[in-house]
Amino acid sequence: MMDAEPALLVKGLLFTLFLMIASSHDIRTREIPNWLPLALVGSGLLQLHLVSALLGLLAASLPYLLAAVITGGKIGGGDIKLMAACGFVLGPVGGILQSIVGLTLVLLFAIGIAFRSGLKSAKQTALPLVPFLAAGGLLTFTLLHLL
């Protein structure tokens, strides 16, 4: 492991903290408070690379916005705002990687439900998305910055 700068470690700790809080809220209420994406953006201001942050914001959030429009709102606004904020922190490559990892995890979880309870049950089970996206974000942050 490379020696990380103190600002990067603080950024990672704040990113982790805010994603864990968002996950907890999403599990309990299926909502993400508006202050959480703002807090994530605040953590992204540490070691800011503005162009990368803005490109990440767009790259990470636009697919979710498009999915929300196509599905008639099955993807919530909180998920869109959260991914925009995560893209701001991680940059475009990191934001996309976070989505790939997080969505793969939720898909594997849904497959597990299907095997255990049947396909019909899996289709009817509404899963909170943020815990899976948070896991993807934490893995991505670690891969990009700490390994």
Residue tagged 């540490």 (tokens): 46
Domain ranges of the chain: 6-146
Q: pLDDT tens digit string along 29-68?
A: 999 999 999 999 999 999 999 999 999 999 999 999 999 9
Residue 28 CA: distances (Å) to CA of 91, 98, 101, 110, 128: 29, 22, 23, 19, 9
Q: How far apart are CA 107 and CA 112, in angstroms?
A: 9
Mean pLDDT, the chain, as a whole number?
92
- The model's pTM is 0.91
